């Protein structure tokens, strides 16, 4: 029965690790590494049990199981250090709770093995469903967005681990009624603490979403201010040109009357050049998107970056203009920052946006070859307060059920977004 308990613990822990793991690899490679490492740990443990016995193995259980699990987790996980430790401690806590519930079930009928197995299975299923339905997405979002406070978070599962290890694994109180009461209260306390932690995670996620909305507003406001300033400047120039029109006509008339046609043509050409300088750039029909594009294209050109664009965005579109404007702002800002690291002759940004037959956006830029990609192929940053733009683009894709495709070909990085044509697909949850 001891071996059955151990195998059940290891298998259930493996499944919990897999669903909570934010891997740096794709699913196939993650599964191969995780299974290989787990089988290796189990084989070493079985050898230890065979030669030294289960009692001694139990005394060194944390050293033989939890420590190598932490190193394996650090190899696979995109997050390292305290974030990885919190995840592993959480899995350990859940595994111990499964064992405790099995023991509690068995205590109702003379330490029944059957009841213990049933208790373990029922508890595992409950925890698995709870994590998948309520905890996992929220937790993975926290791993990618929260960079502070993980040391304090680790105190929660570590204290629970210490209590459970002393009372349950060391069997300090024996399987008495006192033990049963303390175990039940300890499980309730740990679960309550995790519920509080989840509530904090949820509040933080709401703050992040609010920050993204504020960022969208700031981008739009900045672009509108830039566009307004450009319009004011153009209007002032037009006033000057209108004021000079009478003198212009008189000069042209004098030159033609005197027979100096060449000078008249030169004068007309100069005036035409003056008019062209005050034209407001129009990259697409949609005024909101055009304001954003005008602002960022000006920044890109000021950085001596070669820019090519092919844009068709009508006045009326099926999605919220501010959402789309935010995508352009974030994507162009990311591309601009990447390209600025290169020498001027290598600085290139290409942008294509077509509304029909498919609503597709593609932004490509050269880069220095240094980029981190997560298991979905999306870029991410391990630098504090970086990567919000990419998160915002992903939030857009989730809202509109759009397809994100990141691609790297030699020194060119590209982002392609395919957006469903109908606004009925919008997910407002």
Measured in whole angstroms, the distance separating CA 147 from the mean position of its chain's CA atoms is 13
Cα angle 406-412-415, degrees, rounded to a multiple of 5: 25
* Cα-based torsion angle of the residue sequence 152, 154, 156, 160 in order, rounded to the nearest 10 degrees: -150
Which three-class secondary structure state does DSSP give residue 343?
Answer: coil
Compute the radius of gyration of the chain from its Cα atoms: 32
Q: What is the pLDDT of residue 424?
A: 43
171 Cβ neighbours under 8 A, 6+ residues apart: none
Q: State the Cα–Cα distance between residues 395 and 405, nearest whole angstrom.
A: 14
Q: Token pair of 77, please?
A: 């996980």
Q: State the Cα–Cα distance between residues 345 and 348, nearest whole angstrom.
A: 8
Q: State the Cα–Cα distance between residues 20 and 24, nearest whole angstrom.
A: 13
For residue 109, the 8-state DSSP code is T
Burial letters 140-161, b for 16+ CB under 10 A, else e: bbbbbbbeeebeebbebbeebb
For the chain, what's the residue count?
429
Q: State the Cα–Cα distance between residues 413 and 406, nearest whole angstrom.
A: 7
Residue 172: its H or E element: none
Distances (CA, A) of 31 to 69, 227, 409, 417: 15, 51, 27, 29
Tell me the CATH number for domain 287-425: 3.30.565.10
Q: What is the pLDDT of residue 25?
A: 85
Q: What is the pLDDT of residue 39?
A: 93
Q: Token pair of 181, please?
A: 């009461």
At residue 384, φ and ψ (nearest 5 deg) are -55, 135
Q: Is the dihedral of CA 335, 337, 342, 343 positive or negative?
A: positive
Q: Which residues sit opposite 354 in a β-bridge?
A: 312, 360
- Residue closest to 394 by CA, chosen among 138, 128, 209: 209
How many Cα atoms sit within 13 Å of 370 on the Cβ side?
8
Name the strands in the sheet holding 306-312, side by side, starting at the edge strand that comes first in the sequence. 306-312, 348-354, 359-366, 412-419, 403-409
User: With contact defined as beta carbons under 8 Å apart, do 204 and 145 qualify?
Assistant: yes
What's the whole-model pTM score?
0.57
Q: How far apart are the first and last CA of the chain?
A: 47
Q: Token pair of 260, please?
A: 């100096």
Show pLDDT as tens, one digit a residue, over the chain (429 residues): 557 788 888 999 999 999 998 888 888 889 999 999 999 999 999 899 888 888 888 788 888 998 999 899 888 988 888 888 999 899 998 998 898 888 888 877 766 778 888 889 999 999 999 888 888 888 887 887 777 888 888 888 888 888 877 776 655 445 566 777 777 888 888 888 888 888 888 887 787 777 766 766 676 666 666 655 665 665 565 565 555 665 556 666 666 767 666 766 676 666 556 555 545 678 888 888 888 888 888 889 999 999 999 999 998 998 888 888 888 988 998 899 889 989 999 999 999 999 888 899 999 999 887 776 665 566 765 555 456 677 788 888 888 989 998 888 888 999 999 998 764 445 554
Q: State the Cα–Cα distance between residues 230 and 279, nearest whole angstrom.
A: 9
Q: State the Cα–Cα distance between residues 34 and 72, nearest whole angstrom.
A: 7
For residue 62, the 8-state DSSP code is I
Which three-class secondary structure state does DSSP give residue 419?
Answer: strand
At residue 357, φ and ψ (nearest 5 deg) are -75, -20
User: With contact defined as beta carbons under 8 Å apart, do 411 and 369 qualify?
Assistant: yes
Domain chopping of the chain, boundaries: 2-214, 287-425
Q: State the Cα–Cα distance between residues 61 and 249, nearest whole angstrom.
A: 96
At residue 314, φ and ψ (nearest 5 deg) are -70, 170
């Amino acid at each position: 029965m001891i071996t059955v308990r151990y195998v059940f613990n290891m298998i259930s822990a493996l499944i919990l690790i897999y669903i909570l793991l934010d891997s740096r690899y794709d699913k196939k490679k993650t599964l191969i590494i995780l299974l290989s490492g787990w089988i290796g740990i189990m084989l070493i443990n079985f050898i230890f049990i065979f030669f030294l016995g289960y009692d001694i193995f139990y005394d060194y259980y944390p050293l033989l199981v939890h420590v190598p699990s932490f190193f394996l987790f650090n190899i696979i996980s995109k997050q390292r250090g305290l974030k990885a430790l919190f995840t592993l401690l959480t899995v350990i806590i859940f595994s111990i709770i499964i064992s405790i519930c099995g023991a509690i079930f068995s205590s109702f009928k003379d330490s029944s093995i059957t009841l213990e197995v049933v208790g373990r299975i029922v508890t595992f299923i409950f925890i698995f469903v709870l994590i998948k339905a309520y905890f996992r997405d929220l937790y993975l979002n926290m791993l990618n967005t929260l960079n502070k406070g993980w040391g304090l978070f680790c105190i929660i599962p570590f204290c629970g681990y210490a209590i459970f290890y002393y009372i349950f694994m060391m069997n300090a109180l024996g399987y008495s009624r006192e033990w049963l009461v303390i175990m039940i209260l300890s499980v309730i306390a740990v679960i309550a603490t995790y519920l509080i932690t989840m509530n904090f995670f949820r509040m933080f996620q709401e703050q992040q979403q609010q920050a993204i909305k504020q960022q969208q507003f700031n981008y739009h406001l900045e672009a509108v201010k830039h566009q307004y300033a450009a319009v004011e400047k153009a209007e002032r120039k037009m006033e000057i040109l209108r004021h000079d029109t009478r003198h212009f006509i008189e000069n042209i008339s004098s030159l033609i009357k005197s027979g100096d046609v060449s000078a008249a043509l030169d004068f007309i050409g100069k005036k035409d050049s003056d008019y062209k300088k005050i034209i407001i750039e129009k990259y697409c029909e949609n005024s909101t998107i055009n304001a954003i594009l005008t602002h960022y294209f000006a920044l890109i050109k000021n950085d001596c970056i070669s820019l090519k664009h092919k844009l068709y965005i009508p006045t009326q579109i099926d999605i919220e203009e501010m959402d789309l404007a935010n995508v352009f702002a974030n994507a162009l800002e990311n591309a601009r920052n990447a390209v600025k690291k290169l020498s001027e002759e290598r600085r290139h940004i290409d942008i294509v946006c077509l509304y029909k037959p498919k609503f597709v956006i593609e932004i490509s830029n050269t880069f220095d070859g240094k980029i981190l990609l997560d298991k979905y192929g999306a870029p991410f940053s391990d630098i504090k307060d970086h990567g919000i733009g990419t998160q915002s683009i992903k939030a857009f894709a989730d809202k509109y059920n759009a397809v994100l495709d990141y691609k790297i070909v030699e020194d060119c990085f590209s982002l392609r977004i395919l957006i469903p044509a109908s606004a009925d697909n919008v997910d407002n949850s």
